[in-house]
Structures are given as C-alpha cells and as structure tokens.
Structure 1
Amino acid sequence: MNYGISVLFRAIPLLMALVCFGYGWFIYDYGTDPNRFVAGPVVFSLGMICIALFSTAATIIRQIIHTFGNISRYVLPALGYLSAIVTLIVGINMLHHPSTASFVAGHVICGVGLITACVATTATSSTRFTMITINAKKTGHDVPPEAFTRTQGLTLIAIAGVIALVAWVWAFCLLANSDHGSKYFVAGHVMVGLACICTSLIALVATIARQIRNIFSPTERELWPIMVLIMGSLCIIWGIILILATANPAMGVTGYIMIGLGLVCYSISSKVILLSKIWRHEFKLSNRIPLIPIFTALTCLFLSAFLFELESVHGYYFVPARVLAGLGGICFTLFSIVSILESGTSSK
C-alpha cells in the first residue's frame, strides 16, 4: 500500500462521518415534521460509528506503512471509545425528554453508542495487526511473546461480548413493554438490529485477537463467518416479517431499518470472511471480498430511494428512508476497512 492510497482509505471514514453529521443536522433543522426529530439525531449519531471506524483504519494502516508509534497505539483506540461515550451521553440525555421522538431517538442513539464501543474494541484488538501476516506463515500454534497475553485476548473478546449482551437485554426489555405504546415497539425492534451488529463485531474482535495470538483454529475459520451471516440474515428476515405481518404499517416500516442493519452485518462479514479464509490458506477470491460492502451500500441507497418515493404518499416512510441513507454510508466506510485488511494480509 502506497502513501496516497493509505490517505484515501483513511479519508473515506472521515468523509462518511461528515456526510452523516451534515445530513443528520440538515434533516433535524430543515422543517417542523416531528419525524425529523427522530431521523436527524439518529443519522447524525451514525457519524460516530464512522469516527470509530476511522480509528480502526488508521490503526491498521499506520502499521502497514510503518508509522505506528506508542502515541498512535493509545490515542486511536481512545478516539473510538471517546466517540462511544459521547454518543451514549447524548442518547441518555435525550431519554429525559418526554416526547415520543426523543424516546425513540434516545434509545436508538444509545444502541449506536454500543456499536461504536464495539468498533473501538476492534481498533484496540488491531494494535498488533501485522502479527497476523507473520503468524499465518507459521505451521505451529505457539503464542509469540509480542502478542496479546491470554488475559488481554480474552478481555477484548469479553468487552465486545458484554456490550452485545447489554444491547440484547435492552432490546427485549423494550419489546416486553410494547403494549405500552408504539414507541417501545419501534425502539425495541431497532435495538434488536443494533444488537445483531454488536454480536457480529464479537466475531471480528475474536478473529483478530486469536490470529494475533496464533491460536486461530480450523473450527473458528468456519464458525465466526457463519455467526455474522446468521446475525445479518436474522435481522433481514425479522425486518421482512415486520413489514408483511404488522397490522399497523406505520409501525411495520421499522422493518426497513432492520433490513438496513442486516446489510451492515453483511458488510462486517466481509472482514471476518477475509481474515478467516486467508488464514494459512490460499483464497483466490480475496481481492473480490471488498465488493460485499459496496453491494450492501448500494442496496441501502437504492432501498432508501424507493422509500423516499413512498414517502410522498405515506409520511411514515420518512424515518426509514433517511436512516437507510446513513446506513449506506456505514457500509461504504466498511468497504475501506476490508480493503485495508485485504492489502495488509495480501501475500503479493
């Protein structure tokens, strides 16, 4: 990877963050439709995930181009965790407002904060990324002295696991109160999709950490990609069922957001599949895997375009149309990350 390409791949997450921030603010500020007070803050918060993805991209790239120092080792993951903390604080603060819009947006933004924390954990686990290439050339499973200790490796996986568990518990607590109003129904189902993303990131953190420790097994080579694909499929199928089976279409459109979140899971799967398939094996299609997040990003954007047209007749399509556009930006950001991984692990 030359320096110019490295700058481009680091710029993409920042550009997508600016798009989410700018678009989210524009939605919130332009007009008086109550739906804007849900869609605007949520799209804005998606930019925080892009910031955390930037910290991951910069962590890996700086190691590839040999500019990774002690400052970068701590500052870049800290940037991701700071983004998560800020997002959670904003979300929790919104929960104190009595309006339905603030209730839904606050819970969703808290879920986005949990995802951001998982992405920051991915950045932390990537601080010794170059060891993956070195270990992949070995035949044994001895843990290198420079790798994470057993405690460090398990801690990284546990952090992602605990965050995912919090998201699942949060989601089902909201769904359990669905009879108290539509706001619980909407927030609960979106939180399920966010929990699926957090669960998918467990697989990514575990894959990176265990390959750095040189203990990645043949079973895991199949397990982790399947786990992410299951999460993505669960989210999409759940979303389709909501759209088709919910009596109130204004609540059923939440299914479109779940489909978008499932597509984000599929984008994450590209990273897990790449790292798993090339581990001590030749995988001729490795340079094609970055196309997965491109396809998911385009799917989000095309689906968003259709929903914008439907919104001209039915106003309840307002929120999913705009949130899907933001999720398309997340998928495109993941394209830059998987491209970096492909470049950093390539034997060419």
Structure 2
Amino acid sequence: MPQVIELHDRSRVEVFGYSMGVDDGSEIRRRLQAAFDHFVDIADCSVRETAERVRNDGIDILVDLNGWTSDGRPEALALRCAPVQVNWLGYAGTLGHARLADYLLGDPVVTPLHDAPCYCERIIHLPHCYLPADTTIELGAPPSRLEAGLPEHGFVFCSFNNSYKFNPQVFDLWCHLLREIDGSCLWLSQPADTAADRLRSEAERRAVDPARVIFASRVESRRDHLSRLQLADLALDPFPYNSHSTGIDVLWAGVPMVVLLGDTFPGRVGASLLRAAGLPELVATSPDEYYEIARSLASDPQRLLQLRNRLAADRRHCPLFDMPRFVRALEDVYHRMWDDQRSRSQPAAGIP
C-alpha cells in the first residue's frame, strides 16, 4: 500500500491517511506517514469522533481498508463520514449494508459483475488485479538452502500463508504431491503455538515423513524474506481462501504458483494474481486439475524454468507489477465515482 500513496498524482488527488492501529515504529508505518499529504492518528478516537474528524477534513471519497477485521471501525461508516464510501482491500467481501459503503473495489476475476446481487455495494473494477504490489523492494541474493533450513536437494513446494487457511482437502492434495514427487518437501511459514506439531502430525497421518514439512524461521527484514523465497520451486495456493499478499510475494520472487479458481471473492484472488502476472495456464478449475498442474511442473524442470524466466522477464511490465499504471487506473476509478456522485445519477448494478 505505501507505494500506491507515494505514486499518486497530486494534481489529481489529495490524500489523507487515518491510522486506527498502534504506532509500532515499523518501516511501513514510517513510509505511510511520509507518503500521505496528511497523516492523522485516530487510534484513540471513538466511533463518533472518527466520523466527525473525517467530515471536518472535507473528505470526498473515504476508502475503508479494514472492513469487519481487527482494528476496523465500520460503525463510523454507518454515520456517513463522506459523500462516497468505498470498501477495498482489507475485507474480501461485502460489508453487508449499503449505508456502510457505496462501492466495492474489485476486478473482473474476483468480483465478476454477474455476482453483483451478492453485494450490498455497487461493484466497480480496476482493469487487472485489485491488489496492489510493492515493487520498491529489490531482491537480494538468496541464502543457501542449508541456511534456509531446506535440504540440499529435492523439489521445494511452498505456501507462506497463515496456517488457518489450511484444511483437510488442501492438505490431502499437498501430501499427495509429496508422496508422488520423491525427495520433495513442503516449506511453510512458522505458525504460532502448537500448529507446527499438528501440521507435521497431519502429514504423518497421510503417509508423509513429517520431516518433509519444513517451517521457515523469522528473518530480520522483508527484503530477506522475499529474497529467500527464490529458493522455492513452486508455490501452492490454499483454497477456498487463497493467497493475497503472500501470492504477490512469491510471484515477485519469481516463483510460479498453482491456484484453484473458486466461487467466492477470497477464493478467486489467486486466479486474479496469476492472470495479471501473465500465467493464466496455472489456474485450475478443479482440485484434480490443480494436482495435475503441480505434479507436471514438479516433473518437468524445463517447463518450470520457462515459467520462471517469463516471470523474470515481465517483472516490471506485467499488470500485476506495473504500479504506475495501477495507480493511474485507481485514480480514474476515483474520478468516475466522484463524477457519478456529482451528477447524482444512479449507476448500474456494476461498473466494469
């Protein structure tokens, strides 16, 4: 998100940022504070105080990035802080009442217009993926496999999603791949509490040596994390709740990802990422097809290398990572929303 704010054309928009979270002193917060024209900390404000502050600042379009998530304040939206209110990024679904948001900002894959009756908001599309990337972080040389805790040889599947996205059907399929591809391993992010032991136990129940499930330790910086991702051979997207920023991370690191196209917003994000990255052939429409795509890539090093080379060649130019183009399209959408508000016309159920 910081790069979006940094790239906004100040001749087209003036950008306010309202922070409801704790100041953690992080690099990303410092970037956001520097990027916004006005950065306002409202962590200690009540719902009513939040609405009054936004109104007093004369905001035309209020974009809510939290929805019904922790640190969100959707009750303030019900008080109508701004003439136009938008649901974007933080909550992959409808907020549930038209008073909370006028628009839901999606894309043709995650929010197809035929799904408009499922949303209280009017759907409006960015032309490609609705998720922004951060292309300011350059990749460094990856560590050695040994330094990353990986075996020196063998195929590396990875999924750096939160473990609560894993379910029996997903783990069945992933363990089937591990049994099929000799010497392969599954590289996951380190989960909290006892989840690592439980995931290894589930692998063992599926006839997979639990030692082949490897958990990545914490690293000091985001650059270090993105750089080590280059060690993975193939990313596996969970379903029915897909990768979001974690999918962007592996693609930015040049690692192809296999996804299953679902029926709901959060289950279609992986497909949106791949289409914007120029790899639509890695989108499966059934679990069996997902398995076959992953198995064939793990068994065909030449084809996998071709996909990695395509990602590397298109890294700065494909829609997923062309952030100046993304921000111009976002500003165009904002102006369409505002033009509609000023004309007081009623848009159709969706605006492509």
Q: Same fold (TM over 0.5)?
A: no
Q: Which has the higher helix share?
A: 1
Q: Which has the higher strand share?
A: 2
User: What is the TM-score of this pair, normalised by structure 2?
Assistant: 0.28
User: What is the TM-score of this pair, normalised by structure 1?
Assistant: 0.29
